[in-house]
Amino acid sequence: MKQALLLVAHGTVDDLDELPSFVARIRRGHPAPPELLLELRRRYDAIGGRSPLNEINRRLAERVEAATGVTTRVANRLARPFVNEVMEGLAKDGVTHVAAVPLAQYSTHVYAEAVEGAAKELGLTASCAQTWAVEPGLIEAYVDAIRGASAGIEDISRATVVLSAHSLPVAAIRAGDPYEHEFRAAADAVVARLASSAGSPVARTTIAFQSQGMSTGPGGRPVEWLGPELLATIDECRSRGDRDVIFAPIGFLADHVEILYDLDVEARGWVEGRGMAFHRTRSLNDGDALVGVIARIARTVLHA
């Protein structure tokens, strides 16, 4: 049996001309309104015209391969390179079993479905890591990042750490998606580790859901999104007299539009416009901490 590792991401486009088809896939085949596409293009343009996410994930795959000694590739659910295309290439190279690790620690079932579906079509076997929301190495990496972003703040009693994740439609949660539960469990684990770890005092913590989509969906149907929203959370920080707001997007692994625009541009503007100082934790990207975590998880889904 020849095995390979597959790191499966949500995905993004490298060419902005592909935005319409990419967003339509996110919207389950429904074309995006022109105003949404214009806004998305504006956000990509504001961070240099391209997200670094795909390149970061390629480097991550290279480093995980070096750490595990197992051929490792990266694929996307909703953008090129697609899961089925990458797995087809692995099959042509003689791979018979694919062990997948989602590059998302919550709602991993959607990634498993993509991998298992492609495996069935190609006559391969597959295994996929389940949720790793509270994996100790991941929690420790986020805590280290929060400590780093908090260093140098003069009065930590007047600072708040905002633990954030991407919002989802409430309908998805009501339908049984474990995303919100898994994020809240991770946030609790981060807070507990901060409280128990040695070092300087830490700021108060709160959670928020960022990067909400449109309030109306296909057919004009209203869409309710998970909250509390970021702006309301920032206003709460101001109302209690905070001087510093530290954003810790623990729902994300790597830099992308949600980090580089939604936080570094938009949220920074909201915070500084209210007379407070903006801080953000560094993203894990393809750093040593995440490489170690992914390699450990990969070994649990590789066949001995």
Q: Are 168 and 179 in contact (CB under 8 A)?
A: yes
For position 86, what pLDDT does the model report? 98
Same domain, 124 and 148: no
Binned average pLDDT, 10 residues per bin, the chain of 304 residues: 96 95 92 94 96 98 98 97 98 98 97 97 97 98 96 94 97 97 98 83 91 75 93 98 98 98 98 98 98 97 80
Over the stretch 169-222, which tens digit does the pLDDT of each residue have?
Answer: 999 999 999 999 999 999 999 999 999 876 667 789 999 999 998 776 666 678
For position 130, what pLDDT does the model report? 96
Same domain, 85 and 151: no
For position 214, what pLDDT does the model report? 77
Number of domains forming the structure of the chain: 2
Q: What is the pTM of this model?
A: 0.95
For position 217, what pLDDT does the model report? 64
Q: Are 290 and 141 in contact (CB under 8 A)?
A: yes
Same domain, 172 and 273: yes
DSSP code, position 18: G
Q: Positive or negative, the Cα torsion across 74, 166, 196, 284?
A: positive
Same domain, 52 and 151: no
Cα-to-chain-centroid distance, residue 152: 27
Cα-to-chain-centroid distance, residue 90: 26
How far apart are the C-alpha atoms of 280 and 161, rounded to whole Å?
9
How far apart are the C-alpha atoms of 234 and 163, rounded to whole Å?
12
Specify the CATH number for the domain of residue 145. Answer: 3.40.50.1400
